[in-house]
Structure 1
Amino acid sequence: MKNAYLTLFLTALLASGCTSGSRPTDKEHLYVSILPLRSIVGQIVGDDFRVDVLVPAGASPESFEPSPRQYVALNRSKLIFNVGLIDFEQNLLRDFPDRQKLVNLSRGIRLLEGSCSHGHTHEHRHGPVGKSDGHSAAASAHGIDPHIWTSPRALRQMAVNAYEALHASFPDSIRYTKNYEKLLVRLDSLDTACTAALRQADVRTIVIYHPALTYYAADYGLEQLAVEHDGKEPSARHLARLIERARAKKVKRIFYQAQYPSSSVEVIAEDIGARSVRIDPLREDVIENIGEITRQLTARNE
């Protein structure tokens, strides 16, 4: 697999080499791996760059494979921003020839273990893993949860990482610094609003089909209960236990994502008198998305 990615990249690059210099572009390009990252990077650079996304809207990072044209575009782009924790990113960028272009936005974030099938399962050296000492990602049965962009506090560090890379490449841009400072204010306001809303509503538990809110839950002291079990459809026994716990916790909303079945969620919601709510963790406007998830989580049943 490793050599196949490199071969595909070189083939595509050679195929386009004869004409690449003769086609001017209106704007230089930056690349991000998933849509939520474009929201962060775009708010810093404004209209100076075209920010392209590897995984298009509606596609799943789990099954995504880049086209040869995307390989060529990545080579021409100024910088490539990635989460650094998703399998397809690892496969794609492992043999990328210009390592200086790669910006790993998970740097400095305390990584947590999770049960996500699309997470990276190798050892990480970014910092502590999970809540207990002495447990590396390699020792975990499930590896690292990659959904760092669903937490306002992790997003803040991702913004720091993005800005530092941009500032290093374009040190004379005062506008990027001003945009970055405005972005930090928005993220801090989001964090404050989430904290206040969760405290006022006395929410302590999140029930979700696929556990995409691990970092959100950890940052706000919440318990996340996943409907799926070890990345698979839940058994009747698992559902029964989950229903019992959700009822005891007085859960009012149960989240599910479009790419996962809603049937199990609807069974739980009906049994405990809650509402099933569809969310999209890969939505581009990440700040508004986290705000909406918080509003749903803290809303009363109508």
Structure 2
Amino acid sequence: MQLYKKALALLFLTLLVTAPLSSTALAQKPVVFVSILPQKYFVEQIAGDTVQVEVMVKPGASPATYEPLPRQMTMLAKADMYLAIGVPFERTWLPRIKATNPDLAVIYIDKTLRKLPMTSNAIEVDTNPRGALLLNFRNSKAEHDAHASAHDQKKQVHNHEGMLDPHIWLSPRWVKAMAKPTRLALTKVAPHHATQYRINTRRFTKRLDALDKDIHAIFKAIPAEQRVFMTFHPSWGYYAMTYNLIQIPIEFEGKAPSPKDLEQITAIAKKRNLRTIFVQPQFSQASAKAIAGSINGSVVTADPLAENWEENLRDVSKKLAASFILCE
């Protein structure tokens, strides 16, 4: 009986000690902030559930104009890492965020990527589509071509007015180029998971290669001259580069088009026999709807910030392919 009581006491003591430790271990999961929802997807493919991922830009908001919520600033003050990807709001807010948490590790996973300038206005693209698309970017045949040195990156910024296109997450090839810096960053906050992260990254890059191959197959039967699409905001430049498409923006030099601009863009849509105008939830659809009405076409949503990134790219690819067939 005495032995039984001792066993019970030992069991009780074990439960008393281990239960708080389990809760503490769970609470001590590294907190990693990312700017946009697709990044959350990328981090989870590499880290699984070993980190707590928090997203700054919530659904429906724009990374160009986003302002963090007070609750997010409170969480950032205690976060372990911020993975920056080069979206506009980071330039304004990351210095402020860093000031509230000097120990926060800010990692720029886009630092070594060769970026495109933002797509020119619709009239320039229509006049010289390949020239506008290929400006400052000559090599796209393999995923390593996405890389550039920091010196090259500074030269690009110096040589072109305005910012470079930040939408690097919309091409599997650029995402593949970001996989390693993401893995290395995560390893810094959770070094005991380094092997797991390496294995997960290999699996993820294989899926990226498969996705890239599948999207190429979706467009394979469509002649190059028909691969033209019109969208309000020029988010799809890297995607268009990867899959030999031509993106014609409605947004004119970063602003909604004037009535005169809208008239010219509508004429381009008619000339190219376009029947679908692509929009994203983060921007006004008024101009797109006006053009669609003038060409007897339709407005279709293609969200560049969807969290279900892989499924979303397949879905957008199928929508684009269907729109190209309508142009025949």
**TM-score, length basis structure 1:** 0.78
Question: 1:128: Cα distance to partner?
Answer: 4.4
The number of residue pairs the alignment matches comes to 268
Residue pair 2:232, 2:279 contacting (<8 A) in 1 also: yes
Residues 1:296 and 2:319 aligned together: yes
Other-structure match for 1:7: none
Residue pair 2:115, 2:165 contacting (<8 A) in 1 also: yes
Change (3 A) 1:262 1:70: closer
Other-structure match for 1:76: 78
Residues 1:243 and 2:266 aligned together: yes
Q: Distance in 1 between matches of 2:191 and 2:184?
A: 10
**For 1:106, what is the secondary structure of its paired residue?**
coil
Q: Distance in 2 between matches of 1:193 and 1:127?
A: 34
Other-structure match for 1:16: none
Deviates more, 1:274-283 or 1:45-54: 274-283
Other-structure match for 1:201: 222
Residues 1:93 and 2:94 aligned together: yes
Q: Distance in 2 between matches of 1:127 and 1:113?
A: 16
Gapped regions of structure 1 (runs ≥ 5): 1-22, 117-123
Residues 1:177 and 2:198 aligned together: yes
Residue pair 2:112, 2:149 contacting (<8 A) in 1 also: no
Residue pair 1:36, 1:285 contacting (<8 A) in 2 also: yes
Question: 1:68: Cα distance to partner?
Answer: 4.6
Residue pair 1:108, 1:126 contacting (<8 A) in 2 also: yes
**TM-score, length basis structure 2:** 0.72
Match of 1:29 among 23, 28, 31: 31
Q: Distance in 2 between matches of 1:128 and 1:292?
A: 34
Question: 1:212: Cα distance to partner?
Answer: 0.7
Residue pair 2:79, 2:104 contacting (<8 A) in 1 also: no
Residues 1:145 and 2:157 aligned together: no
Residue identity matched to 2:95: R
Q: Distance in 2 between matches of 1:246 and 1:126?
A: 39
Residue pair 1:147, 1:215 contacting (<8 A) in 2 also: yes
Question: Larger Cα Rg: Structure 1 or Structure 2?
Answer: 2
Residue pair 2:227, 2:245 contacting (<8 A) in 1 also: yes
| Structure 2 counterparts to residues 1-302 of structure 1, below 5 A | 25=27, 27-83=29-85, 85-94=86-95, 96=98, 98=102, 101-114=105-118, 126=150, 128=152, 136-173=156-193, 174-202=195-223, 203-299=226-322, 300-301=325-326
Residue pair 1:253, 1:277 contacting (<8 A) in 2 also: yes
Residue pair 2:61, 2:282 contacting (<8 A) in 1 also: no
Question: 1:44: Cα distance to partner?
Answer: 1.0
Change (3 A) 1:286 1:113: same
**For 2:206, what is the secondary structure of its paired residue?**
helix
Change (3 A) 1:261 1:111: same
Residue pair 2:274, 2:326 contacting (<8 A) in 1 also: no
1:51-110: per-residue Cα shift (whole Å, max 9, x none)? 111122222223322245433422432321111x22321222235254772121213321
Question: 1:286: Cα distance to partner?
Answer: 1.6
Residue identity matched to 1:296: K
**For 1:43, what is the secondary structure of its paired residue?**
helix
Residue pair 1:275, 1:301 contacting (<8 A) in 2 also: no
1:161-185: per-residue Cα shift (whole Å, max 9, x none)? 2112223444442222222112111
Which structure's residues are more often helix, by fraction? Answer: 2
Q: Could you tell me the percent identity over the aligned residues? A: 31
Question: 1:156: Cα distance to partner?
Answer: 1.1
1:211-240: per-residue Cα shift (whole Å, max 9, x none)? 111111122222211111112221233223
CA RMSD of superposed structures (Å): 2.8
Q: Distance in 1 between matches of 2:73 and 2:287?
A: 39
Gapped regions of structure 2 (runs ≥ 5): 1-22, 121-147
Question: 1:45: Cα distance to partner?
Answer: 0.9
